[in-house]
């Protein structure tokens, strides 16, 4: 797994590589994503997600498919959810 030390750009913004979402895909084939803030990120193939791990140096919200499915991060390990097909997600600072 990637080391997630806090790194900032010269403008005071966080580097996107410090945020990790590890998707627990039903049937294997787990995926690691390094998203940026405030942008919907696609999940190729609309995988059947049954959980996730979120690593971040700051507190954030994770939205799945729409803004009604909201989870807080970072997590202390894997968060299990009812398996569902996810096509996109977004992270936002809390």
Q: What is the pLDDT of residues 10-46, one digit of tens each?
A: 455 555 558 999 999 999 989 999 999 999 999 999 9
What's the domain range around 81?
Answer: 16-93
Q: What is the pLDDT of residues 56-65, one digit of tens each?
A: 999 999 999 9
| Residue 6, domain member (yes or no) | no
| Residue 5, domain member (yes or no) | no
User: What is the rounded CA–CA span in Å between residue 49 and residue 22?
Assistant: 10
What pLDDT is attached to residue 15? Answer: 54
pTM equals: 0.79
| Residue 74, domain member (yes or no) | yes
CATH number of 34's domain: 2.60.20
DSSP H or E stretch at residue 64: strand 60-64
As for how many domains the chain has, the answer is 1
| Residue 89, domain member (yes or no) | yes
| Residue 27, domain member (yes or no) | yes
């Amino acid at each position: 797994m990637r080391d997630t030390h806090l790194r900032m750009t010269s403008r005071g913004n966080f580097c996107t590589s410090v945020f990790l979402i590890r998707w627990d895909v039903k049937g294997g084939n787990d995926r690691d994503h390094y998203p940026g803030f405030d942008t919907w990120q696609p999940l190729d193939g609309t995988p059947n997600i049954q959980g996730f791990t979120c690593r971040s140096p700051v507190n954030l919200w994770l939205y799945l498919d729409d803004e009604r499915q909201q989870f807080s991060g970072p997590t202390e390990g894997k968060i299990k959810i009812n398996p569902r097909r996810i096509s996109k997600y977004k992270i936002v600072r809390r």
